Amino acid sequence: MIFRSLTRRREIGANSYLLQNKNHRMVLDAGMHPGERGFDALPNFSLVPHDSLDAVLITHAHHDHIGSLPVLQQRQPSAPVYMTEATGELSSAMLHNSVNVMTRQREEQGVMEYPLFTHTELDQIRAKWNYHPTRKPFAMGRTNVECTLFDAGHIMGSAGALLRENGKTLFYTGDVNFEAQTIVREADFPREKIDALIVETTRGDHARPEGFSRRDEKERLAALIRETYERGGSVLIPVFALGKSQELLVTLHELRQLNLIPDMPVIIGGLTTKITLLYDQYASRVRRSYEGFRIMEDMGSLVAPRKGRREINLAARTIYALSSGMMTEGTISNEFARRFVTQPNNTVAFVGYTDPKTPGWRMRNAKAGDVICLDEKKPPVEVRCQIESFDFSAHAARETIVDYVRAVQPAKVLLVHGDAPAMDWFAGKFSEALPNSEIILPEPGEEITLW
Ligand SMILES: [Zn+2]
Ligand SMILES: [Zn+2]
């Protein structure tokens, strides 16, 4: 079995990996790079001959894992696609939104190849999507490879994949979290010995602070909301529409139930509403905490704007949970922030990752009095409000990944989905922990023999 990374660089970006044995070709994930535009944002699909794929496997519905799936399917019309049902439904919503975003980018930024696919195409390619539950082995199309999905604890529907070929095993973690979040429970991964492991390395660049707990972090957020409320201000929390939003909303519900925050309206907007409805639809059908809890119906303080309405009123003593998490130009969190941050009573709270090239990163690192650019086409804004950051990551702390690798003792470990310092830390740590294993940092396009 040969492995080739289809990414264009070693980084977190357009995740996609080719597996090839004597007779068959498979692809794991088909992402799109969040920081690039046009064809540069796609994986290097030219390494896969036209209509030669026997199967595609998708681990979860985040853009960096599914964003280019329709493009891959255009080039590989015969290949069946495998994923969990929740991932399929979320992917459909995410990709339809992606058509709208690309259409806007064509108009506003002149990216002429956009949109790379249409709403109609999206409806057609679903005929090739096959849903499988976790822990139930299935054959991958006409290949001789058997696949079993395992709950990855990252977002709803996320899964790692165990592939078995002639007694040899490969496990791909996808994005994983070994600790429970508010809704999503901890990963439920296989613990048997694995021959080859492809592992994400997102958080390799920093140790968890001494004594860190999610509980304390929630209480710190509650204290900030209380202080802002008492001075008559509001809180803006920029969040990813998928995963982070729903985790945050249930966390706010939990803090309200514990009387740790006052009763105040929580406004959501953009893609978040659509994704939250899908979380609610699966509230009793997936492995999770708060089973059966429907955010839209059961969270009394929640306000979703009417369909199609983008303008959001700025009120006092209100929480705004708006996408996107990185405050990308043209999104509701970016537009709303222009009015919001000029008022000293208000607070912006970051709860997720921000790429250094994005407006969210500039905002996160600003101090009161700084003038920052949120959108090059509009005047800069003076930040006069309070700004704070929290760690509610949906990715495994690096120590927990090392524990997992120790447990499954892979002969070969392939490091993916991380920036250079993160991969370097893991490479060093795994060499110590597994002296007899081969630790591999795959170069884009490089052929690596797994067995
Ligand atoms: Zn992810
Ligand atoms: Zn990812």
pLDDT tens-digit series, residues 367-392: 999 999 999 989 999 999 999 999 99
Pairing of strands 168-172, 159-165: antiparallel
Going from the Cα of 142 to the center of ligand 1, the distance in angstroms, rounded, reads 28
- State pLDDT tens for residues 232-244: 999 999 999 999 9
Q: Using the mean position of ligand 1's atoms as its centre, give its distance from the Cα of residue 69 in Å.
A: 15
CA of 343 to the centre of ligand 1 (A): 34
d(CA 199, CA 230): 45
Q: Please write the tens of the pLDDT for every residue from 291-304.
A: 999 999 999 889 88
CA 369 to ligand 1 centroid distance, Å: 34
Largest CA distance in the chain: 67
Q: How far is the CA of 270 from the centre of ligand 1 (A)?
A: 19
Q: How far is the CA of 150 from the centre of ligand 2 (A)?
A: 16
Ligand 2 center from residue 337 Cα (angstroms): 26
Least trusted range by pLDDT, from 100-109, 247-256, 396-405: 100-109
Q: Ligand nearest 32 Cα, by number?
A: 2
> Measured in angstroms, how far is the CA atom of residue 259 from the centroid of ligand 1?
32
Q: Which ligand is nearest to the CA of 16?
A: 2
Q: How far apart are CA 108 and CA 348, in angstroms?
A: 27
CATH 3.60.15.10 positions along the chain are 2-206+394-449
Q: Which ligand is nearest to the CA of 156?
A: 1
CA of 372 to the centre of ligand 2 (A): 28
Strand partners, 19: 3, 26
* Three state DSSP letters for the chain: CEEEECCCCCCCCCCCEEEECCCCEEEECCCCCCCCCHHHHCCCHHHCCCCCCCEEECCCCCHHHHCCHHHHHHHCCCCCEEECHHHHHHHHHHHHHHHHHHHHHHHHHCCCCCCCCCHHHHHHHHHHEEECCCCCCEECCCCCCEEEEEECCCCCCCEEEEEEECCEEEEECCCCCCCCCCCECCCCCCCCCCCEEEEECCCCCCCCCCCCCHHHHHHHHHHHHHHHHHCCCCEEEECCCCCHHHHHHHHHHHHHHCCCCCCCCEEEECHHHHHHHHHHHCCCCCCECCCCCCHHHHCCCEECCCCCCCCCCCCCCCEEEECCCCCCCCCHHHHHHHHHCCCCCCEEEECCCCCCCCHHHHHHCCCCCCEECCCCCCCCEECCCEEEECCCCCCCCHHHHHHHHHHHCCCEEEEECCCHHHHHHHHHHHHHHCCCCEEECCCECCCEECC
Q: How confident is the model at residue 49 (pLDDT cuts 50, 70, 90)?
A: very high
Ligand nearest to the CA of 202: 2
Cα–Cα dist 362/349, whole Å: 13
Q: What is the pLDDT of residue 357?
A: 83
Amino acid 168: pLDDT: 98
CB atoms near residue 191 (< 10 Å): 9
Ligand 1 centroid vs 62 CA: distance in angstroms? 5
Residues of the chain with CATH 3.40.50.10890: 214-389
> Which amino acid type is present at position 212?
F
| pLDDT for res 304 | 84
Q: What is the pLDDT of residue 68?
A: 98
At 152 the pLDDT is 98
What's the 261 CA to ligand 2 centre distance in angstroms? 32
Q: Which ligand is nearest the CA of 417, by number?
A: 2
Task: Say yes or no to pLDDT of 61 above 70.
Answer: yes
pLDDT reported for residue 67: 97
Summarize pLDDT for 308-321 with one digit per residue, the tens.
666 789 999 999 99
**Nearest ligand to residue 12 Cα:** 2
Q: Would residue 41 be called left, alpha or beta, if left means φ above 0 and alpha means ψ between -120 and 50 degrees?
A: alpha
Nearest residue to 57 via CA among 19, 94, 93: 19
Question: Which residues, 6+ apart, have CB-to-CB distance to 108 below 8 Å?
Answer: 330
Q: Angle 221-227-232 (CA atoms, 0-180°, nearest 5)? A: 125
CA atoms within 13 A on the CB side of 107: 6
pLDDT exceeds cutoff 80 at 11: no
Query: Which residue has better confidence, 330 or 235?
Result: 235
Secondary-structure class of domain 2-206+394-449 per CATH: alpha beta
Ligand 1 geometric centre to CA of 324 (Å)? 15
Cα of 176 vs centre of ligand 1, distance in Å, is 8
Distance CA(302)–CA(287), nearest Å, equals 24
**pLDDT above 90 (res 307):** no
Q: Which ligand is nearest to the CA of 243?
A: 1
The share of the chain scoring above pLDDT 90, in percent, equals 88
Distance 213 CA to ligand 2 centre (A): 23
Residue 308, pLDDT score? 62
CA 382 – ligand 1 centroid, Å = 33
Query: Could you tell me the distance, in angstroms and rounded to a whole number, from the CA of residue 313 to the centre of ligand 2?
Result: 33
pLDDT at 306 over 80: no
Give residue 302 CA to ligand 2 midpoint distance, Å: 28
For residues 6, 7, 8, 12, the Cα torsion angle rounded to the nearest 10 degrees is 180
Pair 80, 55: CB distance under 8 Å: yes
pLDDT tens string 148-201: 999 999 999 999 999 999 999 999 999 999 999 999 999 999 999 999 999 999
- pLDDT of 212 strictly over 70: yes
Q: Which ligand is nearest to the CA of 242?
A: 1
pLDDT at residue 34, as a whole number: 80
Mean pLDDT of the chain: 95
Residue 129 confidence class, pLDDT cut points 50, 70, 90: very high
Nearest ligand for residue 394 CA: 1
Distance from the alpha carbon of residue 68 to the mean position of ligand 2, in angstroms? 13
Q: How far is the CA of 420 from the centre of ligand 1 (A)?
A: 18
Ligand nearest to the CA of 33: 2
Range 265-283 average pLDDT: 94
Residue 283 CA to ligand 1 center (angstroms) comes to: 20
- Fold exhibited by the domain 214-389: Rossmann fold (3.40.50)
CA of 347 to the centre of ligand 1 (A): 27
**C-alpha of residue 65 to centroid of ligand 2, in Å:** 6
- Please give the pLDDT value at position 309: 63
Alpha-carbon distances, residue 312 vs 263, 339, 348, 399 (angstroms): 20, 10, 16, 41
